Amino acid sequence: MAEEHNKTNNSSPHVVIFPFPSQGHINPLIQFAKRLSSKGVKPTLITTIYIAKTSPYPNSSIVVEPISDGFDDGGFKSATSAESYIDTFHQVGSKSLANLIRKLVNEGNHVDAIIYDSFVTWALDVAMEYGIDGGCFFTQACAVNNIYYHVYKGVLEIPLQAAAPPTVTILLPELPQLQLWETPSFVHNPGPYPGWAHIVFNQFPNIHNARWVFSNTFFKLEEQVIKWMRLMWPLMVVGPTVPSMYLDKRLEDDDDYGMSLLKPNHIECMGWLNNKPKGSVVYVSFGSYGELGVAQMEEIAWGLNESSVNYLWVVRETEKEKLPKSFLANGLIVEWCRQLEVLAHEAVGCFVTHCGFNSSLETISLGVPVVAIPQWTDQTTNAKCLEDIWGVGIRAKTPVTRTNLVWCIKEIMEGERGAVARKNAIKWKDLAIEAVSPGGSSDKDINEFVSQLSPIKC
Ligand code: UDP
């Protein structure tokens, strides 16, 4: 049921799309590229040489061009630290991006816009050097961007907040009152990850030079904070960037992001799920990047076993050694899965999630209620939104204990709160579909962007 076209030619608008090279940033920008392609725009997706080598992208409607991040042989994990990766990526990546733009132009291409991840603000400086319009793409919730912006502006003073007693609360425009621990981890505990803290607080210095600002959320999900941000920036809200087959079904065969940095145990997962009763499975994942402490891993492992439910738990290879030695899983443990297919499976009744923003949007888009176990970065604030604002689940106490996890799972799978969360999740699912369908808020914003791309000068 492909309603939209994707025929492009050399006079079609051409947009270069540049995600930060991690799974949680690549996924939304790939989906945005697919949407643009369906509306007659030619997208070129930039990835790193290492990712292009190790995770080739099969979708023929999007051209992939690799640039160097300075770690061509081993990628991010071969850097000595996040700080060294971020710094080298900036130095090497900006030169490599400039070379790519020159190459594209020398080959006779026009480049009408560079849509860059808000984590690589330097890409806008490169775009401007070549007279190309830039669009800053935020992959995190507007609620979270709002908080980071106030840190950037000095309204939230990080050392003061860190030193503040835990009872301090924070009140920012269009957000509910937040406890300190409900802010992103970099706000209440900036010490351990200075490189990431620097990136998230510094997404804004050149944003006034961006012709567009995009956000992967949808209007009704974050209406108040979106309205507030629109007073400052030309914000286009284009999410949820979940493959079309799970939402409006207008993009033919679009049922997967398509670039998986880890290999999914797909057949095993689906075979296992197919044998489970409707709504009986708890799906558990902590995303592509985060690392659990050994004690947390142990509590979660025993909690899942003790909860006596069917569970499917993603434990990445690098995390497996933290499983308790004597642990024999009652459920299925896989190293990676196709999360969307799992969440969409009728056997799944609950998502125990770290609350990465993609996972949050995916669970909402598929109507699955959650038990939230946020770890760090924006996850603490996303968990607040999932429980208190969107009403789709409950937060476990952190650090989570096995007893609390058993209680949370029971509450969502069998309790009154679970019934309410499920109802709300279905409501959000319908609103997410509405947003990306013809005439919906996200669809309108994408159309508006396409209409603003400069026509080709003959
Ligand atoms: N994901 C997946 N398989 C898994 C676990 C996660 O495909 O086994 C995908 C998930 O659908 C999401 C992304 O990886 O799109 C993770 O992004 P998120 O923002 O949730 O968390 P992050 O990995 O950035 O912490």
- CA neighbours closer than 13 Å in the CB half-sphere of residue 304: 28
Question: Among the atoms of ligand 1, which is closest to the Cα of residue 288?
Answer: 23
Residue 209 has pLDDT above 90, yes or no: yes
All structural domains of the chain, each given as residue ranges with its CATH number in brackets, are 14-257+435-453 (3.40.50.2000), 266-432 (3.40.50.2000)
Q: Which of 184-193, 312-321, 355-364 has the lowest mean pLDDT?
A: 184-193
Q: How far is the CA of 353 from the centre of ligand 1 (A)?
A: 10
Q: Is 339 in the pocket of ligand 1 (CB under 6 A)?
A: yes
Q: Is 290 in the pocket of ligand 1 (CB under 6 A)?
A: yes
> Which residues, in sequence order, are CB contacts of 249 under 8 Å at separation 6+?
1
Closest Cα to atom 9 of ligand 1: 339
pLDDT band at 15 (very low <50, low <70, confident <90, very high): very high
Measure the CA–CA gap between 355 and 377, rounded to whole angstroms.
Answer: 10
% of the chain exceeding 70 in pLDDT: 96
Kindly report, residue by residue over 370-414, the tens digit of the pLDDT.
999 999 999 999 999 999 999 999 999 989 999 999 999 999 999
Q: Six-digit token pair at 314?
A: 């993603």
Catalytic residue among 14, 69, 112, 117: 117
Residue-level pLDDT at 380: 97
Kindly report, residue by residue over 35-52, the tens digit of the pLDDT.
999 999 999 999 999 999
Q: Is 375 in the pocket of ligand 1 (CB under 6 A)?
A: no
Closest Cα to atom 5 of ligand 1: 287
For residues 79-96, give the mean pLDDT.
Answer: 97
Kindly report, residue by residue over 210-255, the tens digit of the pLDDT.
999 999 999 999 999 999 999 999 999 999 999 999 999 999 999 9
Q: Ligand 1: which of 334, 359, 375, 377 to mutate, judged by most atoms within 8 Å of the beta carbon?
A: 359
Q: For residues 421 and 389, is the Cβ–Cβ distance under 8 A? A: no
Q: How far is the CA of 22 from the centre of ligand 1 (A)?
A: 10
| Residue predicted with more confidence, 208 or 290 | 208
Question: Among the atoms of ligand 1, which is closest to the Cα of residue 377?
Answer: 25
Mean residue pLDDT of the chain comes to 95
Residue-level pLDDT at 158: 79
Sign, CA dihedral 227-228-234-238, equals negative
Residue 435 has pLDDT above 50, yes or no: yes
Residue-level pLDDT at 407: 98
Q: Is 259 in the pocket of ligand 1 (CB under 6 A)?
A: no
DSSP bridge partners of 370: 351, 393
For residues 64-91, give the mean pLDDT.
Answer: 97
pLDDT band at 458 (very low <50, low <70, confident <90, very high): very low
pLDDT band at 454 (very low <50, low <70, confident <90, very high): low
Residue-level pLDDT at 2: 46
Q: How far is the CA of 287 from the centre of ligand 1 (A)?
A: 4
Residue 55 has pLDDT above 60, yes or no: yes
R_g over Cα of the chain: 21
For residues 346-358, give the mean pLDDT.
Answer: 98
- CA neighbours closer than 13 Å in the CB half-sphere of residue 413: 23
| Residue predicted with more confidence, 384 or 158 | 384
Residue 8 has pLDDT above 80, yes or no: no
Q: Which of 44-58, 158-172, 175-189, 405-419 has the lowest mean pLDDT?
A: 158-172
Residue 6 has pLDDT above 70, yes or no: no
Kindly report, residue by residue over 57-67, the tens digit of the pLDDT.
987 789 999 99
Is residue 117 annotated as a catalytic residue, yes or no? Answer: yes
Q: Is 240 in the pocket of ligand 1 (CB under 6 A)?
A: no
Residue-level pLDDT at 161: 58
Residue 364 has pLDDT above 70, yes or no: yes
Is residue 25 annotated as a catalytic residue, yes or no? Answer: yes
Q: How far is the CA of 216 from the centre of ligand 1 (A)?
A: 15
Torsional class of 70: left (φ above 0), alpha (ψ -120 to 50), beta (otherwise): left
Note if the pTM is more than 0.95.
yes
Q: Is 28 in the pocket of ligand 1 (CB under 6 A)?
A: no
